[in-house]
Amino acid sequence: MSVVFHDIQKIEIIVKGEKLDFVQNLMQQAGAQGHTVIRDISGMGDHGFHEGRLLFNDQSSLIMLVAVAKPDVIEKIAAGLVPLFEKNSGVMFVSDAKVARLEKFL
Amino acid sequence: MPDKTRLLAQIENAAECITPFWPLKTFIATNPLSGFEHMPFEDAIEKGSALFGGNGLPTRAMGQKAMEDGKIDPVILKNILEEAAGKDEAVHLYNEMTSGLIENQKGSSTKLSKLNALMIKYLAAFLDEGQSGWQMPGREQGFYKAWKNLVKKDDQISNKALLETLPDNALDTLFSLLENVDDKNRENFLERHLAALPGWSGFVKWRARQHDYPWQKQYPVSLTDYLAVRLSMVNMISDDGLSTSMTKTDKEGLYWLKAWEETYRTQLSDQLKQTWNNDAPPSRPEAQFVFCIDVRSEVFRRNLEKTGHYDTYGFAGFFGVALRHTEFGEDIAADSCPVLLSPQFESTDQPCCGHEDKAQQHLYGKKTAKGFKNTLQKLKQDIAAPFATVEATGALFGLGMAARTFSPSSLKKISRSFKTLLIPNVDLEPTTSKTNDSALGLSLSERIFHAEAALKIMGLTKNFAPFVFLTGHGSETENNPYAAGLDCGACGGNHGGPNARLMAAVFNDPAVREGLIKRGITIPEDTLFIGALHNTTTDEVVILDRRDIPEKITKDLQVARKSANLERCKQFSTKHSPQTRASDWAEVRPEWGLARNAAFIIGPRSMTQSIDLEGRTFLHSYDHESDSDGKALQIIMTAPMVVAEWINTQYYFSSVDNAVYGSGSKTTHNVVGKIGVMQGNASDLMTGLPLQSVMHADGQLYHEPLRLMTIVKAPLSRVSKLIAENDILQTLFDNGWVALTVIDPESGKFMRYQGHKVWHDIDDKQTSGADIPIVKKNDKELEPA
């Protein structure tokens, strides 16, 4: 039996740990049904290489949030991130994705 | 709706100008200008002046007094002026600065506007955490709705027509109220309204993020609520409550500051040049003591080391385990870890084997005492009962007050004995509850991980003594709303005892020791780890784990206590003993806390042991040889050093402008809602340190307002790489919030960081000369390795 996939959009957001609360609230206000948090991200950016794991400091290490939702919800989230990134470091990626159980994300 | 999510981000951005304010019971030192740390120090103080009306630099009077006391070297000041203004102008400037005072050169105070008075009224009522006898109705609906319901009956507001048009949702309300404010000006507009009462808005900012905080769960508040209420009232009373007062900042304060800093830093560097390469004796010490990095530990460590062959170490006082600890018989847990971290383990105390019956008595006694206290509280707050209560018990309380005033130490002894009778002491041991697969509740791999991390970070990986004391710390003070400010900063304003005991138990676990051997750390079988607590007010060290300890160690701790007491007593103008200070309910200054802190030294104790650092330095043990990948140094610089910077900047700003950045005199403080203090009957929440914590008397500084200087003994390439990889370090060092000197062990050079990857050897100039940020020809730029 083949799996039926449904179109949906995905947003991936990388911010400092101290902005976790804001982004979670933003996603909730925009209507996203859930999200995944990946902690202690490392990588290269505008400001050089960012170290991932800071043992005694959750606030300064980078985190990544991933959510899938309908395009209008993703747009609301993105609208809230644009001003944030004017003052704070961070990036977001929006892409098309597919999910098997669409009702979980609406 | 995308516009509303945009507004959420604009609120978030605007709120960066205010520093979160923790409630008094977990008083956390913070930089009042933390929102501007991404700017150079000089720009940040300008911004602080424009928004808060504060003066961020030493005044001429402070500078002249420091020079008179020998804390500013005139030669250094002259050199700084010459570098900045040229030789001729420098003479003129120097003469002007050192003769005559500037009138009224201090932060201006402004009268409370009607809008701010109204905001304070509603915020104090809503945010109350059990102090008031009569609660604000409807708080469970959140701040905005509770206000909306109550303001209808407010006689201070005559025009209530707007109320009918306001939506029920705070975000919708704010959105509609901002319709006339251009999008590009919104953040500035909101920033000014948040900055009008930075203490209150700072507290809301803190609380809104505490989703597990019982008061927030029950009575939610957010900055959106705060702004919706404020801007609604702006429209209703036609007052925007924004002050235009601004303290002028000028270059003179900066010259004083740099000269003051340079005088201290030159002296310290000169001392370290003699001692940086000293080695610790190779023989096995009688005992090792691990203390918190707190500046107060240095005084005790120095005095203890004189009494015998003891090695002392400095490590963040939470000993690497982020706990949420509930004391035996208590309902409320406290986060015993730095606020940079979320607690990872929940811990509590349980009675030791054989103490179960006594534990029951203890719980019963505690319950009785609580019941008595609650009844008394109710009687005091009842409408009629206080009259009868005073009639019946007034004389008794009067006697108590007299005893507390005239003989506080004796009363404390009596009340302690009485308390022990009612609530018998019981031997307790810590336990955590995250997992249940071991006696301690932490899984074996977690225990080994925490043990290895702690030992490697502080460089204690060999030559273990028979006894290793993990010594947390806490203060002892009476009737002091700022008590938590004197406790352990690394434990979120709590006593570090639970963390010390838990980690001692981890280190004593045979399975952990076996795991450590596989990681190259062998703890001898005869080594015992013991939890202890250093009382920073009285310098008493209490052994928390009941173990057989050699009498010599107990005696030496007493000797060290006496000499540390003597040393600290010299810093007070009165002759009260530390014990009296700790028990006197009228004592405004039980101890000096972290006043005069000025440096953070990362390296082995042997490099500082022979120097009297006067309790001014945070000391973090570090052995660069056992940290080849730099991970331990990264942890030290991105966490303990950051907390030290918060403490340092709080003392700094509370000293240079106590009215704006500090919290004014304790004599006119009023505790509000159990969360903070106000000056008089209504003011902003006072977020900084009281005048008595930083000054001998009004205008006479005790704390010396100097920015922190970090000194690291480690290879220059390693430190340089760490700065390149951690933007928090770039923020602090490149913007001048913290100065950095690296003692490179290979070359023996003292390298001063000039910011933006530029280093310079401090011996490449006149020894008495100033080191203001000017790049010399022979500076070398280091690329990250």
The interface predicted TM-score of the complex, written ipTM, equals 0.90
CA distance A56 to chain B (A): 6
Q: What per-residue confidence (pLDDT) applies to B434?
A: 55
Strand-pair partners of B652:
none
- What secondary structure does DSSP assign to B41-102, as a single string? HHHHHHHHHHHH----S--HHHHHHHHHTTSS-HHHHHHHHHHHH-HHHHHHHHHHHHSS--
Answer whether B237's CB lies under 8 Å from B114's CB: yes
Write down the residue that tokens 């960012």 correspond to: A50
| Position B512 pLDDT exceeds 60 | yes
> pLDDT, tens digit, for every residue of B222-264?
999 999 999 999 999 988 878 765 556 678 999 999 999 999 9
Three-state SS at B714: coil
Examine the pLDDT at B687 and tell me if it is beyond 80: yes
Question: Which pLDDT value is given to residue B697?
Answer: 84
DSSP category for residue B248: P
Band (pLDDT 50/70/90 cuts) for residue B443 is: confident
Count Cα atoms within 13 angstroms, Cβ side, for A48.
13
Distance CA B150, CA B169 (A): 16
What confidence tens digit (pLDDT) does each residue in B605-625 have?
A: 999 999 999 999 999 999 999
Q: How far is CA B731 from CA B716, B722, B728, B734, in A?
A: 19, 13, 5, 6
On whether any CB of chain B is under 8 Å from the CB of A46, the answer is: no
- For CA atoms B669, B671, B675, B679, give the dihedral sign: negative
For B443-475, b where at least 16 C-beta lie within 10 A, e where not — what string?
ebebbbbbbbbbbbbbbbbeebbebbbbbbbbb
Give the whole-angstrom CA distance, residue B660 versus residue B32: 10
| Average pLDDT score over residue span B392-412 | 84
Q: Which uninterrupted H or E stretch holds B348?
A: strand B345-351
Structure token pair of residue B722? 């760490």
pLDDT band at B745 (very low <50, low <70, confident <90, very high): very high
pLDDT digits (tens, 9 = 90+) for B172-218: 999 999 999 999 999 999 999 999 999 999 999 999 999 989 999 99
Q: What is the pLDDT of residue B773?
A: 39
Tokens of A6: 């449904």
**Is B320's CB within 8 Å of A56's CB?**
yes
- Shortest CA gap A91–chain B (Å): 15
Q: Cβ of A49 under 8 Å from any chain B Cβ?
A: yes
CB within 8 Å: A58 and B341: yes
Locate the DSSP E strands across B540-679.
541-543, 599-602, 617-620, 669-672, 676-679
Interface test with A, best of B171, B635, B727, B732 (most A CBs within 10 A): B727
With beta carbons less than 8 A apart as the criterion, state whether B253 and B261 touch. Answer: no
| CA distance to B168, B405, B459, B518, B744, per residue, from B636 (Å) | 48, 44, 12, 25, 17
Specify the higher pLDDT residue, A89 or B698: A89
CB contact (8 A) between residue A79 and residue B635: no
pLDDT at B777 over 50: no
Q: What percent of chain B has pLDDT over 90?
A: 66
Kindly give, in sequence order, each residue whose CB lies less than 8 Å from that of residue B146, ignoring residues fewer than 6 positions away. Answer: B126, B136, B137, B138, B139, B219
Helix then strand count (H, E) for chain A reads 2, 6
Our CA angle for B9, B127, B690, nearest 5°, is: 95
CB-based contact B695:B758 (threshold 8 Å): no
CA distance B534 to chain A (A): 23
How high is the pLDDT of residue B572? 86
Q: What angle do CA B359, B361, B366 make, to 5 degrees?
A: 95
pLDDT of residue B767: 36
CB contacts under 8 A, A 4-23 vs B, are 19, 21-22
d(CA B584, CA B575): 13
* B333-337, B455-459, B557-561, B707-711: least confidently modelled range: B333-337
Q: Which has the higher per-residue pLDDT, B383 or B569?
A: B569
Q: How much is the pLDDT for B784?
A: 39
Cβ-Cβ contacts under 8 Å, A77 against chain B: 5
Tokens of B132: 């008031």
Distance of alpha carbon B87 from alpha carbon B110, whole angstroms: 41
- pLDDT higher than 80, residue B492: yes
User: What pLDDT sits at residue B350?
Assistant: 85
Mean per-residue pLDDT for B126-135? 92
**pLDDT tens readout for residues B283-333:** 999 999 999 999 999 999 999 999 999 999 999 999 999 888 888 888 888
Residue B425 has pLDDT above 90, yes or no: no
- Beta bridge pairs of residue B589: none
Torsion angle of the four alpha carbons B170, B175, B179, B185, in this order, in degrees rounded to the nearest 10:
110
Q: Mark yes or no for CB contact B2/A56 under 8 Å.
A: no
pLDDT band, very low/low/confident/very high, at B780 (cuts 50, 70, 90): very low
Q: How far apart are the first and last CA of chain B?
A: 48
Interface contacts A/B by beta carbons within 8 Å: 94
Q: Which two tokens stand for residue B502?
A: 């838990």
| pLDDT value of residue B1 | 56
More confident residue, B386 or B626: B626
pLDDT for B2 equals 67
Q: Pick the residue of A21, A54, A56 with the most B CBs within 10 A to test the interface with B by mutation.
A: A56
Contact B637, B692 (CB under 8 A): no
Instruction: Round to whole Å and give the CA distance between B688 and B27.
Output: 10
CA B129, CA B579: separation in Å to the nearest integer? Answer: 31
Q: Select the residue from B3, B4, B8 to test the A interface by mutation, using most A Cβ atoms within 10 A.
A: B8
Phi, psi of B695 (to 5 degrees): -130, 150
CA separation for the pair B66, B413 (Å, rounded): 41
Contact flag A47-B5 (C-beta cutoff 8 Å): no
- A86-90, B123-127, B418-422: which has the minimum mean pLDDT? B418-422
Q: Which residue has the higher pLDDT, B777 or A13?
A: A13
Please return the burial class of A5, using the count of CB atoms within 10 Å of its CB with bins 0-12, 13-18 and 19+: exposed
Mean pLDDT of B696-721: 95
B448–chain A nearest CA distance, Å: 15
**CATH class, A12-100 region:** alpha beta
A55–B171: do the CB atoms touch at under 8 Å?
no
User: Residue B461 corresponds to which tokens in the numbers above?
Assistant: 């990986």
What is the CB-side half-sphere exposure of residue B635 using CA atoms within 13 A? 23
pLDDT grade, residue B439 (50/70/90)? Answer: low
HSE toward the beta carbon, residue B425, CA cutoff 13 A: 7
Helix B143-151 × helix B114-126 angle, to 10°: 120
Instruction: Tell me if B638 and A47 make a contact (CB, 8 A cut-off).
Output: no
Residue A64: what are its φ and ψ, rounded to 5°?
Answer: -125, 135
Say whether pLDDT at B771 is over 50. Answer: no
CA B433 to chain centre: 28
Task: Give yes or no for A37 touching B (CB within 8 A).
Answer: no
pLDDT per residue over B623-663, tens digit each?
999 999 999 999 999 999 999 999 999 999 999 999 999 99
- Whether B725 sits inside 8 A of A75 (CB atoms) is no
CA distance B54 to B684: 14
Paired sense of beta strands A6-16 and A90-99, if any: antiparallel
Residues 555-594 of B with CB under 8 A from A: none
Q: Please identify which residue in the block is written with the tokens 């991980």.
A: B449
Fill in the amino acid letter for B93: L
Q: Take residue B237 and report the two structure tokens written for it.
A: 């009373």
CA distance B38 to chain A (A): 10
Residues on chain B touching A55 (C-beta within 8 angstroms): 320, 453, 635, 639
Judging contacts by C-beta atoms under 8 Å, the chain B residues touching residue A81 are 9
Q: What is the pLDDT of residue A99?
A: 93
Max avg pLDDT among B83-97, B367-381, B418-432: B83-97
B6 and A CB contact within 8 Å: yes
**Overall average pLDDT of the B99-123 stretch:** 79
Map residue B627 onto helix, strand or coil: coil
Cα–Cα distance between B578 and B591 in angstroms, integer?
8
Contact, B294 vs B594, CB < 8 A?
Answer: yes
Mean pLDDT, rounded, for B591-614: 96
Say whether pLDDT at B671 is over 90: yes
Nearest to A57 among B9, B642, B784 (CB): B642
pLDDT for B127 equals 98
User: What pLDDT, on a 0 to 100 scale, did the predictor assign at position B248?
Assistant: 61
Q: Are the C-beta atoms of B347 and B498 separated by less than 8 Å?
A: yes
pLDDT bracket for residue B65 (50, 70, 90)? very high
Average pLDDT, chain B: 90
Whether B728 and chain A come into contact, CB under 8 Å, resolves to: yes
**Nearest partner of B23 among B674, B522, B527, judged by Cα:** B674
Residue B145 has pLDDT above 90, yes or no: yes
User: Is A54 touching B (CB cutoff 8 A)?
Assistant: yes
* pLDDT > 70: percent of chain B: 94
Residue with the two structure tokens 């057989």: B548
- Maximum distance among all alpha carbons in chain A? 50
The kind and range of the H/E element at B428 are: strand B428-432
pLDDT digit string, tens, across residues A48-90: 777 777 778 888 889 999 999 999 999 999 999 999 999 998 9
Distance from CA of B295 to the nearest CA of A (A): 20
CB-CB neighbors (< 8 A) of B724 in chain A = 48-49
- Domain limits, chain A: 12-100
The number of beta carbons lying within 10 Å of the beta carbon of residue B664 is: 23
Residues B101 and B108: their CA atoms lie apart, in Å, by 17
Residue B220 to residue B177: CA distance in whole angstroms: 22
pLDDT band at B781 (very low <50, low <70, confident <90, very high): very low
